[in-house]
Structure 1
């Protein structure tokens, strides 16, 4: 089994795929062969947009992955842009499908980035939520959070969920251009409460190293 990193976020449209592409580059610069996997993507009418971005980025660093296709990278795809439970009509999902897909990817890489869908409490089926995947995959989690007003609440709720589940994780802030008040309204609290405070765009190489150290230990 390769090293596994599960990328999640405080909600949808926070920057999981953006973060994952940066992480592909950071891990590749460390000399690792990086693979990607997105078990579930909803809102897919043709090519899965997030899965395809992950796949094309990973292939540019690890050409061996070109032996696969985007269908190998995204196991379950549904057209309705909703939680998997809703998009799949509440049907049970066989997680062994994920194991078979991961085995093909891991044969070509040293570390695999597994990207979730939505946030941690997104329902997958009657029995499982997204937060159950990092334990299932035995992965270390990278939580991505936003920098808009409300990010303190959203971040702390997701951190508490990961801590309560006793899952290994680190977290980082994906600050977007429109989130202009962060340094005044939210950063002081984060700096008071946490050390260090990672920013995805500035600290991705450090984040990659910490993630690998977390997996190792």
Structure 2
């Protein structure tokens, strides 16, 4: 089994896809064969936009992925831009379809980056949330948070949830050019409260290594 990293976020449109692309590059530079998987994508009109972008980029880094089509990378494509619970009309999900797709990708890579849809508590059906899918995959979670006003509350709520999930995790900021107030309004709290802070685009290689350090003692390969 490859090393699995599940990229989630504090909400939608936080930068999961951008973060995944950055990590694909980082792991390739570290000498790993990378793979990518987007189990569910909503708001699909034609080809899944995120899944297509991820596969196209990953295929330039790992030529073995050229044997895959976007349908191999996005298992469930739904047209309505909403939580899977709503977009899939509350149909119960059989997680085996995701396991089978992931197994096919893992044969071609050392590390697979799995991008979620929405945030950790995005409902999939009556019973499952997005965080449950990450747990089912036995993946290390990377939580991506924003740098706008309110990021303290959003980040702490998600970290509280993760603290009760039996799975390793790290978190990172994805700051955008218009997050001008972050250094004044939010960063002082984070600097005082956390020992290590990661910022996508600034110290992605350090984050990539830290994720591997989280995976190694947890991996089933080492049991």
Q: Does 1:19 align with 2:19?
A: yes
2:55 aligns to what? 55
1:151 aligns to what? 151
Q: Answer yes or no: is the 8 Å Cα contact 2:39–2:74 preserved in 1.
A: yes
Return 5+ residue gaps in structure 2 as ranges. 218-223
Dislocated runs of 4+, deviation >6 Å: none
1:168 aligns to what? 168
For the residue of structure 2 that corresponds to 1:199, the secondary structure is coil
**2: distance between equivalents of 1:204 and 1:69?**
28
User: C-alpha deviations, 1:128-179, integer Å up to 9, x for none?
Assistant: 0001012100100110000000000000001111111232100000000111
Q: Answer yes or no: is the 8 Å Cα contact 2:58–2:65 preserved in 1.
A: yes
Instruction: Please state which structure has a larger fraction of its residues in strand.
Output: 1
How many residues are aligned here?
217
User: C-alpha deviations, 1:164-206, integer Å up to 9, x for none?
Assistant: 1232100000000111100000000000000111111111100
**2: distance between equivalents of 1:144 and 1:171?**
6
- Within 5 Å, give how 1:14-163 maps onto structure 2: 14-163=14-163
For the residue of structure 2 that corresponds to 1:66, the secondary structure is helix
**1: distance between equivalents of 2:160 and 2:167?**
10
2:221 aligns to what? none
For the residue of structure 2 that corresponds to 1:112, the secondary structure is strand
**2: distance between equivalents of 1:127 and 1:110?**
31
State the 1:53 CA deviation. Answer: 1.1
Q: Does 1:203 align with 2:196?
A: no
What is the TM-score with the length of structure 1 in the denominator?
0.99
- Cα RMSD, aligned residues only: 0.6
User: C-alpha deviations, 1:59-110, integer Å up to 9, x for none?
Assistant: 0100110001011000000100000000010010110000110111001000
State the 1:126 CA deviation. Answer: 0.7
Return 5+ residue gaps in structure 1 as ranges. none
For the residue of structure 2 that corresponds to 1:142, the secondary structure is strand
